[in-house]
Amino acid sequence: MRRRVVITGMGAVTPLASDLPGTWQALCEGRSGIREIDGAHNAVRIAGQAVDFDPNTALGTRTARQFDRYTQLALVAAREARAVAGLPGRSGDERWATVIGTGLGGIGSHERAVLALAAGRRSGSAYTAVAMVPSAAAAAVAIESGAQGPALAPGTACASGTDAIGLGADLIRLGRADVVLAGGADAPVGPVALSAFNAVGAAATGDGDPASACRPFAVDRTGLVVAEGAAVVVLESAEHAAGRGATALAEVLGYGSSNDAHHLSAPAADGVAATRALRAALRDAQVSPEQVGYVNAHGTGTVLNDRVEARVLAGVLGARTPVSSTKSMTGHLMGACGALEAAVCVQVLRTGIVPATRNCHELDPECAGIDVVRGDNRAMDVSVAVSPSFGFGGYNAVLTLGRA
């Protein structure tokens, strides 16, 4: 018999708030975390920054200085998730695992080290070598929690957080762990990442009101908004959670993944591989398309990505399933987005509130095959939700989540 996997804790640091309840409240109120930034050295003048997050206050100056910002964000999100789950501060348990994905890893630390060397500094910081690697957040979360089981760091671009939760669920199903801290983190708001996404033609540069810049599925959308943040969930086998009296917030029913094998940045226009991942996540969950009550779309606000995603969702789920993109308010958290959007799905399952997609005033006719929630939030009884993520390199990952 396959072990059931439940979510018992969630935590997040986002451009909307430094915890998950604050982030959820902002999403329900339709508030935006996208703001103007210093664009003196870059054409991109907007981003989603976790402005309320102070790593020195959250972690202590001595601890904070060891880590890149993306790891700092992950540590705080993981602390919140563990507290909500009622897990001990440090386990020392080989049955605990960590899976923290990232798209860009410690890019800020790398960037600062290069600038320092270019300015004539003869040696870098002793922390740079460990701060910039993409496995740093997974290692730091494992160390702080005492998790001595597998520690993995999927780097599947914008699908990383979704893959992390899917792989974490698989560890539990396979009997290799009882508890997994899974999620994603990224802190890409800097000149290198901003200029890179602008150069590839994916980024909205920020003409007009920053809060209106990200317009998923809208006919006038201009691109994604780069953002930072982290989200972590606590996964447990249902037996383990019940044994310690923990409350299950939701259940991970299924996981599917695939690759387009098409292009390093553009999604395959036919959506065949993305469709395969979605169908795999439903099949793994033993859920029919008709049972899906909500989709938190990847919904980046780029022309090609939105159209391909709309085609995939319409082809599998039809026009009846409500779809929204919370990136319209958070921006694109890169490797963290899938984990945050999975947490949003859990909140939808628990509360029956479907947050509306902001800024989508006129729907792109090529996205008209799906029911994009616009204007006001919807009150719905949702028992099954789907969270898809699609990343550069053709990575497709989908989670099916169910009410506990």
- How far CA 392 is from CA of 202, 305, 385, in Å, comes to 11, 10, 24
What pLDDT score does 313 carry?
Answer: 98
What pLDDT score does 40 carry?
Answer: 66
pTM as predicted: 0.97
**What kind and span of H or E run contains 91?**
none
Using CA atoms, how far apart are residues 365 and 135, in angstroms rounded to an integer? 42
Position of tokens 């943040």? 229
Burial class (CB in 10 A: 0-12, 13-18, 19+), 335: buried
Decide if 345 contacts 364 (C-beta within 8 A).
no
Using CA atoms, how far apart are residues 99 and 80, in angstroms rounded to an integer? 16
What pLDDT score does 321 carry?
Answer: 98
CA dihedral 74, 80, 82, 83 (to 10 degrees): 160
Query: Domain 1-393: what homologous superfamily?
Result: Thiolase/Chalcone synthase (3.40.47.10)
Instruction: Give the amino acid at 124.
Output: G
Position of tokens 């029956």? 352
Using CA atoms, how far apart are residues 383 and 381, in angstroms rounded to an integer? 7
What pLDDT score does 39 carry?
Answer: 75
Active-site annotation, residues: 158, 298, 332
Give the helix, strand, coil percentages of the chain, each rounded to 5: 40, 20, 40
- As given in the structure block, the two tokens for residue 33 are 């975390």
Q: What is the DSSP string of 114-173?
A: HHHHHTT-SS--TTHHHHSSTTHHHHHHHHHHTB-S-EE----GGGHHHHHHHHHHHHHH
Q: Is the dihedral of CA 191, 27, 158, 11 positive or negative?
A: positive
Per-residue confidence of the chain (404 residues) as pLDDT tens digits? 789 999 999 999 999 999 999 999 999 999 999 999 987 668 899 999 999 999 999 999 999 999 999 999 999 999 999 999 999 877 778 999 999 999 999 999 999 888 888 888 876 678 898 899 999 999 999 999 999 999 999 999 999 999 999 999 999 999 999 999 999 999 999 999 999 999 988 899 887 899 999 999 999 999 999 999 999 999 999 999 999 999 999 999 999 999 999 999 999 999 999 999 999 999 999 999 999 999 999 999 999 999 999 999 999 999 999 999 999 999 999 999 999 999 999 999 999 999 999 999 999 999 999 999 999 999 999 999 999 999 999 999 999 999 99
Using CA atoms, how far apart are residues 324 and 313, in angstroms rounded to an integer? 12
- How far CA 38 is from CA of 35, 92, 110, 121, 333, in Å, comes to 10, 44, 20, 25, 19
What pLDDT score does 41 carry?
Answer: 67
Using CA atoms, how far apart are residues 276 and 260, in angstroms rounded to an integer? 10
**DSSP 8-state symbol, 92:** -
182 — alpha (psi -120 to 50), left (phi > 0) or beta? Answer: beta
DSSP SS3 for 19: coil
DSSP SS3 for 287: coil
Using CA atoms, how far apart are residues 165 and 101, in angstroms rounded to an integer? 9
133 — alpha (psi -120 to 50), left (phi > 0) or beta? Answer: beta
Beta partners for residue 229, in sequence order: 186
